[in-house]
Amino acid sequence: MSRRRRATLLAALSITGIHAFLGPVLFAQTADPPTSRPSGISGYMEVHFTNPDEGDAVFDFRRFVLLFTHRFSERIRFISELEVEHAVVEGLEEKGEVELEQAYLDFMIDRRFNIRAGQLLVPVGLINERHEPPVFHGVQRPFVDTFIIPTTWFDAGVGAFGQFGHGWRYRVYAMAPLTATEISAEEGLAESPQQGSRAIVRHFASTGRLEYVGIRRLALGTSFWTGKSATDSARLNPRVTIAEADGRGRVGRIDLRGQYAHVFIQDAGELNRLLQVSRGTNPNVASQMLGAYLEAAHPVLFFPSAPEVVGFVRYERFDTQYRMPAGFVPIQQFQRSAWVFGVSYYPDPDVAVKIDYTVERNASSAIKAPRSLNVGLGWWF
């Protein structure tokens, strides 16, 4: 049986198995009358102003996102997220995009085990599943969650989620794989997700996350992704694996968070040679990429009834040329780090006004790393 037929059969058996296994639990219920079925709408938006030390300043309505939910019954719920980027959708991606980031059904069975299927957010890292502007500091998302973990990362999939013990939570999914031909030396994995759009599935990828939230003011997590990624050649399907760990906590009035992510790309040398033949240039894809950051935040106003104003500092390392396959050397300008200094003002817990100054660095002595002043306004409801 061909790989494509096996993948199709696995997907069909997954859906059939859900129906057979859950049918007596979920589908034998008396349907709610249409007028009593609760639906909801929410969303988030963010506007950015970026003023680099060199080049033009840019004003951008970065994201306009609406979330639609519906509860069919106590055991079946629907969640979706539709996003417009850069305000106008016209022609090339740089002119804007419309993305269906989430559209899935939850089949609620038990606290410890439930089924989720549809267009899913990949459960890797701190930001990818919770990326609304008021929940993170800085105008832009962290560099690690852009080039190493390609936030916002979503694709078609099916899996399970639940809670167990005291404070343990998990999610584990089978999903469409990455596109290896979209991995690059400069942007890492940023453009490699297939996003549920006619995704090529020669092999399913697997991903999961385990969290512990049983201690007050502390949350710890670890996650993974592994799967053979698609290329233009059926004979080459490089496995991409991500191992990640993160933590959030509060000590007194200081909020701390940190994250570490390590990417392994199998057969990176063969991938480079394939792309060099097809494109005429060497893409210089690394065999390993590395990302990590530490962030500390503290309120800056102390008098009673003061509005919440939080100062923060974040150090990041995001090296998309960390280890190279035999015969290839790293491009030093993509061995990068950054300091981000800023303030977040919350006139309401769901509204954030942000300002930061970002200082990037790289290992190249010839190419200057950029710096920028950034101002943002974000809200959710």
Q: Where are the domains of the chain?
A: 111-380
- pTM for the whole thing? 0.89
What fold, for 111-380? Porin (2.40.160)
Q: Token digits for 264?
A: 């392994």
pLDDT of 307 reads 74
Return per-residue pLDDT of the chain as tens, 381 residues: 444 444 444 444 344 444 434 443 333 333 343 445 699 999 999 999 999 999 999 999 999 999 999 999 999 999 999 999 999 987 666 678 999 999 999 999 999 999 999 999 999 999 999 999 999 999 999 999 999 999 999 999 999 999 999 999 999 999 999 999 999 999 999 999 999 999 999 999 999 999 999 999 999 999 999 999 989 887 899 999 999 999 999 999 999 999 999 999 999 999 999 999 999 999 999 999 999 999 999 999 887 777 799 999 999 999 999 999 999 999 999 999 999 999 999 999 999 999 999 999 999 999 999 999 999 999 999
CB contact set of 30 (below 8 Å; sequence gap of 6+): none
| Contact yes or no for 272/283 (Cβ under 8 A) | yes
Task: Report which of 82, 159, 70, 80 is spatially closest to residue 117, judged by C-alpha positions.
Answer: 159
CA atoms within a 13 Å half-sphere pointing along the CA-CB vector of 60: 17
**What's the pLDDT tens digit per position in 189-221?**
999 999 999 999 999 999 999 999 999 999 999
Closest CA to 60 of 376, 379, 381: 376
pLDDT digits (tens, 9 = 90+) for 336-353: 999 999 999 999 999 999
Mean pLDDT of the chain: 91
Say how far apart CA 144 and CA 341 lie, in whole Å: 16
Position 164, amino acid: F
- 164-188 per-position pLDDT tens digit: 999 999 999 999 999 999 999 999 9
- Backbone φ, ψ for residue 28 (5° rounding): -90, 5
Task: Give the pLDDT of residue 49.
Answer: 98
